[in-house]
Amino acid sequence: MFDGMHRRIVSIWFPRLASDRALRLRPVEAPFALSLTRAGVERIHCLNLAAVSRGLHRGMGLADARALCPDLLSRPADPAADARFLRALCRWATRYCPWAGIEGEDGLVLDITGAAHLFGGEAEMLADMRARLLRAGIAARLGLAATRGAAWALARHGEGVAAPGADPLQALGHLPVRALRLEEDTAAALDRLGLRSVADLAARPRAPLARRFGPELLKRLDQALGAEAEAIAPVAEPPHYAVRLSLPDPIGLVSDVMAGTGRLLEALCARLKDRQDGARVLRLTLNRVDGDSRQVELRLARPLHEPARILPLFERGVAGVEAGFGIDRLRLEAVQVEPLPPCQTGFHGGDRTDGLDDLISRIGTRIGLENIRRFLPADSHIPERSFLIAPAAWSEPGGAWIVPHPRPLRLFPPEPIAGTGPQPPGRFRWRRMTLETARATGPERIAPEWWLEDEAWRSGLRDYWRIETRQGRRLWLFHTPQAPGWFVQGEFA
């Protein structure tokens, strides 16, 4: 046995982490579940106690759950938000010890060796953890032991405490083999062999187990019993990018503030470049001598760490700041940061899209980056679905538009016109104009996409025609053969 038996490890398991997070701000007493789509089937991802009491369980199909529990409330799960919430809980756990790490998707592990006396003892520390989590509306189960594996097993299969210096097998022997963090297939195979508890497994010869199940089984057993060490890696805090500049005398001119901002940018961008990161959102705080402060926030179309490209974008915001009796301190912070690894540049020393990105950033400071959008090609032959509209700052230009037939520059909802027969009408009225057909090209038959719900296409097939009128209008008409009728849906340039 290694000398780490004197260590004390706490494992915290959150059995309903996702649903507890979703219900913290808007609690409900009714059955509630979060769902995720897996293999084309919407299944329950997490649920509250009320839903469990009605016979629902994790992994159950949402349709089956609604049939069993008609008053079930549900919403889509957000695994990314759950991961951020777990990281926040990990930071909270450092109030008990400096070594706190994340264990899986719903657990924490803490090395409280030498820290329990600060809270009056181990029992008092665990009671404080439970009370604080309960007040926050978070269900938790705790396990305390000398090893990480034993603490994990006690939290998930017993919620108990292994006494210091005691034989770990006494605390874990009655637990199922799944408490050793085994794969489900391995645990099921051991169960079929009659090895249902940790004590049963520990009593068997090791060589046959290793030959049949591989070294991972014995490794997990040794980690739980303390025969093999297992480290705890604390969660590293993301780097914080912020610099400040204190001035001996107050300043108020835009040129002086921009000069100070330039000095801060040089230092900040040097740190960003060293870590291969780029700033996406920057915040400049100007502290005035009267104790008040003003902020200038800059949102960039692309992550950057080039001071020469960023500094001019601050000028408009700085010019609108009221300096009062003067500004004596400046602080620049990279609020949002994204990875920006080095990339190969061309012979001209820069990317040909740099100018466009800077233009988007300049316009975005006036009207908002989310209001600058671009059209992207989509894989659909339905005219309304053949393109996507995405914010330019959070999307890349699409590839070449592959269109087998010309498409109009302007599309609008179909507008009915008078016409009979499958051929385009020679004369018709549209938007209070009388038009005569000079040339007609078509038809191009487009069938609806049956796998998508679209009310506008429930009428069936459409035969599209390109019409040139004697009055100069170039229109896009279609005819519906199953329910005869003519419509105008677009206009060419």
Per-residue pLDDT band for 4 (boundaries 50, 70, 90) equals very low
Per-residue pLDDT band for 347 (boundaries 50, 70, 90) equals low
Interval 118-137 mean pLDDT? 94
Least confident window among 240-249, 366-375, 412-421? 366-375
The SS3 call for residue 39 is coil
pLDDT, tens digit, 9 for 90 and up, residues 208-249 = 999 999 999 999 999 999 888 888 777 777 788 999 999 999
**d(Cα 169, Cα 185) in Å, to the nearest integer?**
23
pLDDT, tens digit, 9 for 90 and up, residues 300-339 = 999 999 999 999 999 999 999 999 999 999 999 999 999 9
Residue ranges with strand state E in 59-149: 73-76, 100-103, 107-111, 141-145
**d(Cα 356, Cα 370) in Å, to the nearest integer?**
16
Instruction: Please state the pTM of the whole predicted model.
Output: 0.61
Does residue 346 register a pLDDT over 60?
no
Per-residue pLDDT band for 251 (boundaries 50, 70, 90) equals very high
What is the Rg, in whole angstroms, of the alpha carbon atoms belonging to the chain?
33
CA angle, 223 then 86 then 282, to 5°: 130
Does residue 1 register a pLDDT over 60?
no
Does residue 2 register a pLDDT over 50?
no
Interval 116-125 mean pLDDT? 93
Cα of 119 vs its chain's centroid, Å: 36
Interval 450-478 mean pLDDT? 88
Peptide bond into 443 cis (omega under 30): yes
**d(Cα 139, Cα 137) in Å, to the nearest integer?**
7
Cβ-contact 254, 318 below 8 angstroms: yes
Amino acid symbol at 164: P
φ/ψ (deg, to 5) at 435: -120, 145
Classify burial at 87, counting beta carbons within 10 Å of its beta carbon; exposed 0-12, middle 13-18, buried 19 or more: middle
Structure confidence at residue 354 (pLDDT): 78
Q: Which residue has the tokens 């780097």?
A: 239
CA atoms within 13 A on the CB side of 445: 6
Non-local (6+) Cβ contacts of 440 within 8 A are 423, 424, 465, 466, 467, 468
DSSP for residue 32:
E
Query: Which of 284, 279, 338 shows the shortest CA–CA distance to 316?
Result: 284
pLDDT, tens digit, 9 for 90 and up, residues 163-198 = 888 888 988 999 999 999 999 999 999 999 999 999
